[in-house]
């Protein structure tokens, strides 16, 4: 009996150890799978493993490049998206949930098809939730847009600036966006800024903008009338198809794609300058006409990628119409950037040699002097003398050749502007209120 009992206990211990071993092996395999999925998605290893926290550049980019890119042969490379976010994995997880219509981190409506749902059922459910998208509604406030816009521009503006804020709440409009407005009026004090937004056209929105209006700057948020802005343009058919369910809105938040289209329509209707709310202006824009910026270019001066974070065009410019045509005819709501940066790149690649379009592609140093993968370095303080000299040289370069700096908010929103950093130095030099 004693021997039998001992054997049983030994067998139980063996089985217990075997189960623990399997558990640890499976856990390690799961962690490894998550790690390598992240690496394959981002094409990067975590910085703490791959490189030191402070990576110091040892070369300084030349500043004597030609002001305008000569582009006899247009080349578009399908590189990683300009605004990568780990939210991609969130979308993957949402696809296997039971809810087909959900909201993103900013409360925006996102179309997600569950595994048991057909495409038509998904679109029907999205249509039922369209009332939640205030931007699509026609209201007494939006119907006054045309009248308010005429009055706003009546006294004349040196430059007409536009931003969009297509968010479910004005409360997301924070310090980073205020810095963009601050820098805009420092360099362009006699210009006007219209923010197209339903939520900012409110009492709370007025309070947010009050520090600027109290100083006499002409800035106002207006709820856009999409029927008016899109009328007699290809954008109208796209909007109709979205509303009646003939076009699938896709998994990318619809407000993001609406912003891509609204910026084209507002410039086509009024002419002026569109800038993203994470763009820090450093110079007077009065001298720029009919221009779009290259995000990247070859050493020989041919652009490889354009971006739509900054657009400068006259009223009724034909290239804007072609952008809207492309948007309506090729819309894909499932690919980030397809209806934005990639769209303008496609159209200019195809149509850019047409003389009658009369526009200029500005080099990356004009609007995108820092790539989204390196923007974090602009927020860091100098860590040694070599780094400090690099910062000084970079500031000289930016002051001389950049009209502004795109901050790539998806990558930099959580970063603090450190003492002695490039960003603190730039903003301190280009602010009126200077609430840093």
pLDDT beneath 50, residues of the chain: 1-4, 34, 36-115, 131-132
Q: 41, 89 in Cβ contact below 8 A?
A: yes
Residue 58's pLDDT is 25
Residue 328's pLDDT is 96
Bridge pairing between strands 109-111 and 218-222 = unpaired
- Point out which residues pair with 306 in neighbouring strands: 294
Backbone angles phi, psi at 431, to 5 degrees: -145, 155
- What is the C-alpha separation between 333 and 369, in angstroms, rounded? 29
Alpha helices by DSSP H, 231-332:
234-244, 254-270, 318-330
Which helix H or strand E contains 160, and what residues bound it? strand 160-164
Q: Model confidence over 55-111: pLDDT tens digits?
A: 233 222 333 333 344 333 232 222 223 332 323 333 322 332 333 334 444 444 444
Residue 327's pLDDT is 97
Which helix H or strand E contains 224, and what residues bound it? none
Residue 350's pLDDT is 92
Residue 156's pLDDT is 84
Residue 175's pLDDT is 86
R_g of the chain computed on alpha carbons: 25
User: Residue 270, by phi and psi: left (phi above 0), alpha (psi -120 to 50) or beta?
Assistant: alpha
Q: 56, 386 in Cβ contact below 8 A?
A: yes
Token pair listed for 162: 């536009």
- What is the C-alpha separation between 328 and 233, in angstroms, rounded? 10
Instruction: Select from 126, 145, 111 the least CA-distant residue to 226.
Output: 145
Cα distances (Å, whole numbers) of residue 172 to 32, 82, 164, 415:
36, 22, 13, 16
Q: Which residue has the tokens 């007494």?
A: 140
Domain borders along the chain are 2-50, 136-369
- What is the C-alpha separation between 67 and 70, in angstroms, rounded? 9
- What is the C-alpha separation between 346 and 308, in angstroms, rounded? 12
Residue 116's pLDDT is 52
CATH for the 136-369 domain, from 3.30.300.30, 3.40.50.300, 3.90.550.20, 3.40.50.970:
3.90.550.20
Q: Model confidence over 387-414: pLDDT tens digits?
A: 999 999 999 999 999 999 999 988 898 8
- DSSP E strands, 314-428: 360-362, 404-406
Residue 272's pLDDT is 97
Cα distances (Å, whole numbers) of residue 431 to 155, 348, 415, 435:
25, 34, 19, 8
- DSSP E strands, 192-342: 192-196, 218-222, 272-275, 279-281, 291-297, 303-313
Q: Residue 80's Cα: distance from chain center in Å?
A: 14
Q: 380, 53 in Cβ contact below 8 A?
A: no
Cα distances (Å, whole numbers) of residue 275 to 182, 225, 263, 409:
13, 20, 9, 13
DSSP state of 356: G
Residue 353's pLDDT is 75
Instruction: Select from 262, 283, 256, 287 the least CA-distant residue to 274.
Output: 262
DSSP state of 56: P
Q: 319, 344 in Cβ contact below 8 A?
A: no
Residue 10, C-beta contacts closer than 8 angstroms, at least 6 positions apart: none
């Amino acid at each position: 009996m004693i021997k039998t009992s001992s054997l049983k206990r030994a067998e139980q211990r063996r089985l217990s150890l075997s189960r623990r071993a399997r558990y640890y092996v499976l856990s390690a395999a799961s962690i490894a799978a998550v790690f390598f999925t992240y690496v394959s998605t981002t094409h990067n290893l975590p910085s703490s493993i791959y490189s030191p926290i402070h990576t110091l550049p040892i070369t300084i980019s030349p500043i004597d490049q030609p002001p305008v890119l000569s582009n006899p042969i247009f080349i578009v490379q399908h590189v990683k998206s300009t605004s990568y976010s780990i939210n991609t994995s969130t979308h993957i997880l949402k696809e296997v949930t039971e809810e087909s219509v959900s909201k993103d981190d900013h409360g925006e409506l996102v179309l997600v098809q569950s595994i048991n749902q057909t495409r038509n059922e998904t679109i029907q459910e999205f249509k039922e939730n369209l009332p939640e998208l205030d931007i699509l509604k026609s209201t007494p406030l939006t119907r006054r847009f045309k009248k308010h816009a005429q009055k706003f521009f009546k006294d004349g503006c040196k430059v007409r600036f536009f931003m969009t804020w297509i968010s479910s709440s004005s409360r997301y409009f924070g310090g980073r966006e205020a810095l963009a407005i601050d820098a805009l009026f420092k360099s362009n004090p006699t210009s006007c800024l219209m923010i197209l937004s339903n939520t900012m056209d409110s009492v709370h929105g007025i309070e947010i903008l009050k520090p600027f209006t109290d100083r006499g700057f002409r800035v106002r948020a207006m709820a856009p009338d999409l029927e008016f802005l899109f009328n007699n343009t290809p954008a109208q058919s796209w909007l109709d198809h979205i509303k009646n369910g003939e076009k699938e809105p896709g998994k990318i938040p619809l407000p993001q794609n609406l912003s891509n289209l609204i910026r084209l329509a507002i410039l086509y209707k009024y002419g002026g300058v569109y800038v993203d709310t994470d763009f820090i202006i450093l110079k007077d824009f009065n001298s720029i006409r009919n221009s779009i910026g290259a995000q990247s270019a070859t050493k020989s001066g041919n652009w490889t990628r354009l971006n739509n974070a900054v657009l400068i065009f006259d009223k009724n410019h034909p290239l804007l119409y072609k952008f809207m045509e492309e948007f309506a005819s090729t819309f894909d709501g499932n690919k980030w950037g397809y209806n934005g940066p990639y769209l303008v790149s496609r159209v200019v690649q195809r149509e850019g040699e047409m003389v009658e379009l009369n526009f200029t592609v500005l080099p990356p140093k004009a609007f995108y002097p820092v790539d989204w993968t390196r923007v974090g370095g602009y927020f860091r303080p100098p860590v040694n003398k070599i780094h400090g000299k690099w910062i000084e040289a970079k500031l000289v370069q930016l002051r001389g050749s950049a009209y502004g700096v795109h901050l790539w908010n998806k990558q930099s929103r959580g970063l603090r502007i450190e003492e002695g950093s490039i960003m603190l130095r730039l903003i301190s030099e280009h602010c009126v209120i200077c609430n840093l």
